Amino acid sequence: MDFLTRFTMGGIDLLATLFVFLAGVAVLAVLAMFVLDVMQSKDAVRHNYPVIGRFRDLFTRLGEFFRQYFFALDREEMPFNRAQREWIYRSAKGKNNTLPFGSTLNLNLVGTPIFINCAFPRLDEEARDPPPVAFGPYSPNPYLASSIVNISAMSYGSLSKPAVQALSRGAKLAGCYMNTGEGGLAPYHLEGGCDIIFQMGTAKYGCCDAHGRLDDAKLAAVAAHPEVKMIEVKLAQGAKPGKGGILPAAKVTKEIAAIRHIAAGKPSISPNRHPEIDNVAELIDFINHVRAVSKLPTGFKTVLGAYGWLEDFCDEIERRGLEAAPDFITLDGGDGGTGAAPMSLMDNVGLPLKQSLPMLVDILERRGMRDRIKIIASGKLVTPAEVAWAYCAGADVVNTARGFMFSIGCIQALRCHTNNCPTGVTTHKKSLQGGLDPKEKSQRVANFVDKMRKDVAMIAHSCGADHARNLKRYHVRIQQEDGTSIPLDELLARYSPWRRGTAPENA
C-alpha cells in the first residue's frame, strides 16, 4: 500500500472517529436535556414532552422573524406591513415606487381614507410649495417651519450614535427639523446643522438639577445653541400615555449619563408626570416660564383620551390672553411607537390619531384659538396617504419617527429594547453599529423626505389643492360599514360632540 493510500485511509478513519465522537456527544446532550426536562416542573410542555418541547419556545421566538419573510401578506403585518416598509425603503434608496397591475389595499375596510380626485386637477406648473408655518408670534425668536414632514422625537440613548448622526445630517440635507426626544441635547443632534426641537421630558434630561427639577441655567444653555429653534414639553407619548420614559441599564453609557445628568449603568425611569404640572393653570405657568427662560417658541406634546380638560385649558387662556397660550401642541396618537413600553399601555390606552386630531382641531377652532396654537401631528404617519390625511384633518405640520427609522435601515426586528438591534439603529454595541454609515444613510433620509413631499403634493394636486397645507376635510372620504364612504367633514359633523361643546364633565 503506497503512502497516498495509507494517508487517505488514515484521514477517513480520523473522520469516522470524529463523527462517532460527535454523535456520542450529541446523544449524551439529548439524554441530559431529557433528564433535565423530566425533572423540572416550571414548564409543563417540556416536562410532558422532553427535548421536543424545547422547540416550541425556539419556534415562538423565531416566528416573528420568519413571518415577515415567508408567511405574512403584503398588507397584514403589524405594526407596519411589508407594503408600507417597502415604500419607505425604495424611497430612501431613491428607487422608482411605481407598481404594476393594481392596488393590494382593501378599500372596503371600515375607516379607510379615500381621497377625492377632482375633474380638473392642478397642472404641475400651477402647483406651489406649501408656505412655512410660523410658530411663536409672541416669542423673541419666532420659528418658520417649512417642511411638511419632520423627524419626530427619538432620543440619543434609545437611538444609537450613528443613527442620530444620520438623521441630523439627513435633516439638514432635506431642510426639515429634528426633535431630540426626551434624552437631552447630544452633540450628534447638532453636528448635522439641522433645525432642532428640544424636547423636555418629565425627568428634564439635559436641563435638570440634582433632584430632577428644571435648572433654568441649563435650559438657557441648551436654548443658546443656534440650531435649537423650539422647546417641546412632553406630557405624554402615544405608546405609553401616563408612564415616563424607560431606558434599560445596558443603554445608559457614561456618555449618555453625562448628557442626561444621570447615573451611568443604571436603568433610567422618568416620572409619569411633571411634578410641577397637575392642572391646566400649572401647565400654562410652566409653558410660559420655559418660554421666558429659553426665549424660544414653546409648546407641549400629549395624547388625548379625556378631552374635557381642553375646555378648562381654553378658559384659562381666555382669562390670561392669547399671549399666554402655548405656541403649539404636538398631538401623538395612541398608536404611536417607542423603544420600550408595557403592552397594556401600548395596545389599549390613548385615542388613535384618526380620532384625536379632528377633536383637538375642532375644539381650538370653536374657542377661537386655532390660529394662535399650531398643531403638529404625530403617530404612525409613514406614507403619503397618512400624511395627506393628517393635513385634511387640520394639522399644520406632521412628524414621523418610525418612518425615518425605516429610512436608515430598521427592519422591524422588534429588538429596540434589548440593545441587540441587528441594523445598528437602536443599539450601543459597536459590533452592531458598523453597518450604519451616517454619511450614506443621511442621503436616504433626504431621499425619504423628498419622495414624501412629492407624493403628498401629488395627492393634493389630484384633489385640486395647490399644496398639502391646502388640503381640506372634504378632500377625503372615510369608508363605512355599509360599503359607502362619507366625506370627513360630514362624518365629524354627524358624530362629534366636541364640535358643539357638549363634552361630559369628566371627559
Residue pLDDT, tens place only, 301-328: 999 988 889 999 999 999 999 999 999 9
How many Cβ atoms sit within 10 Å of the Cβ of residue 187? Answer: 13
Q: Indicate if the pLDDT at residue 506 is higher than 50.
A: no
* 467-490 pLDDT tens trace: 999 999 999 999 998 889 989 988
pLDDT of 70 strictly over 60: no
Percent of the chain scored above 70 by pLDDT?
83
Residue 229 is inside which H or E element, if any?
strand 228-234
Residue 105 lies in a domain: no
Task: For residues 171 and 64, state if they share a domain.
Answer: no
Average of pLDDT values for 78-93?
73
Please give the Cα distance from 19 to 232 (Å, whole number). Answer: 65
What the block records as the C-alpha cell of 239 is: 405608546
Note whether 64 and 174 are same-domain residues. no
On the 0-12 / 13-18 / 19+ scale of CB atoms within 10 A, 134 is middle
Please indicate, yes or no, whether residues 27 and 161 belong to a single structural domain of this protein: no
pLDDT higher than 60, residue 421 = yes
Residue 3 has pLDDT above 60, yes or no: no
Task: Mark which of 71, 88, 107 sits at the end of a domain.
Answer: 71
To the nearest whole number, what is the mean pLDDT of the chain?
Answer: 84
Give residue 371's pLDDT. Answer: 95
Q: How far is CA 161 from its chain centroid? A: 17
Alpha carbon distances (Å) from 490 to 77, 366, 486, 502: 31, 17, 7, 18
* 4 has a pLDDT exceeding 80: no
- pLDDT for the residue numbered 460: 94
Q: How confident is the model at residue 140 (pLDDT cuts 50, 70, 90)?
A: very high
199 plus 345 within the same structural domain: yes
- Together in a domain, 14 and 156: no
The three grid cell numbers given for residue 333, joined into one nine-digit string: 396618537
In 3D space, the residue among 338, 381, 327 whose CA is nearest the CA of residue 357 turns out to be: 381
| Residues 31 and 159 both lie in one domain | no
Average pLDDT over residues 111-140: 89
Domain that holds residue 374: 140-408
Among 127, 162, 90, smallest CA distance to 450 is for 90
Predicted pLDDT at 123: 81
Tell me the C-alpha to C-alpha distance, in Å, between residue 80 and each of 70, 77, 145, 413: 16, 6, 28, 11
> Is 16 within a domain?
yes
Which residue matches cell numbers 427639577?
213
Output the nine-digit C-alpha cell for 453: 413631499
Q: Which residues neighbour 75 within 8 Å (Cβ) at sequence distance 6 or greater?
A: 81, 82, 83, 104, 105, 106
DSSP 281-320: HHHHHHHHHHHHHH-S-EEEEEE-S--THHHHHHHHHHHH
Cα–Cα distance between 150 and 449 in angstroms, integer?
8
Higher pLDDT, 183 or 285: 285
Q: What integer pLDDT is reported at residue 23 of this predicted model?
A: 85
User: How confident is the model at residue 319, as a pLDDT?
Assistant: 97
Angle at 410 between CA 406 and CA 414, to 5 degrees: 120
**pLDDT in the model for residue 30:** 83
Lowest mean pLDDT: which of 294-298, 366-370, 404-408? 404-408
Last residue of a domain, one of 387, 408, 429: 408
pLDDT above 60 (res 72): no
List the CATH number of the domain containing 282.
Answer: 3.20.20.70
Whether 126 maps to a domain, the answer reads: no
Residue 56 has pLDDT above 80, yes or no: no
Angular region, 464: left φ>0, alpha ψ -120 to 50, beta rest = left
Q: Are residues 49 and 169 both part of a single domain?
A: no
193: pLDDT confidence band, cut at 50, 70 and 90? very high
CB-CB contact of 434 with 165 (8 Å): no
User: Greater confidence, 458 or 336?
Assistant: 458
pLDDT at 285 over 80: yes
Is 207 a domain residue?
Answer: yes
How far is it, in rounded angstroms, from Cα 335 to Cα 293? Answer: 33
Minimum mean pLDDT range among 340-344, 421-425, 435-439? 340-344
CA distance linking residue 390 with residue 403, whole number of Å = 15
Q: 156 and 189 in contact (C-beta within 8 Å)?
A: yes
Q: What's the predicted TM-score (pTM) here?
A: 0.84
Least confident of 137-141, 142-146, 222-226, 247-251: 247-251
Who wins on pLDDT, 100 or 268? 268
For residue 428, give every residue at least 6 positions away whose Cβ sits within 8 Å of its Cβ, in sequence order, or none: 160, 161, 250, 251, 253, 256, 419
For residues 131 and 129, what is the distance between their CA atoms, to the nearest angstrom?
Answer: 6
Same domain, 320 and 401: yes
pLDDT at 59: 61
| Residue-level pLDDT at 82 | 64
Residue 167 domain flag:
yes
C-alpha distance from residue 55 to each of 39, 46, 50, 62 (Å)? 18, 9, 10, 10
Q: Do 66 and 173 fall within a single domain?
A: no
Question: At 147, is the pLDDT very low, low, confident or very high (cuts 50, 70, 90)?
Answer: very high
CA-closest candidate to residue 155, choices 266, 241, 234, 225: 234
What's the confidence (pLDDT) of residue 359? 94
> Is residue 188 assigned to a domain?
yes
Percentage of the chain surpassing pLDDT 90?
45
Is 453 part of any domain? no
39 & 144 share domain: no
Phi, psi of 359, rounded to the nearest 5 degrees: -60, -50
What is the count of structural domains for the chain? 2
Q: Is residue 483 part of a domain?
A: no
Task: For residues 235 and 357, state if they share a domain.
Answer: yes
Of 408, 432, 466, the domain-final residue: 408
Mean pLDDT of 216-239: 92
User: In the structure grid, which three cell numbers stand for residue 390, read together?
Assistant: 393628517
Q: What pLDDT is stored for residue 248 in this prediction?
A: 75
Contact 374, 132 (CB under 8 A): no
Strand pairing class (476-479; 113-115)? antiparallel
Residues 383 and 262 in one domain: yes
Q: From residue 332, how far is each of 269, 400, 505 by CA, in Å? A: 21, 10, 23
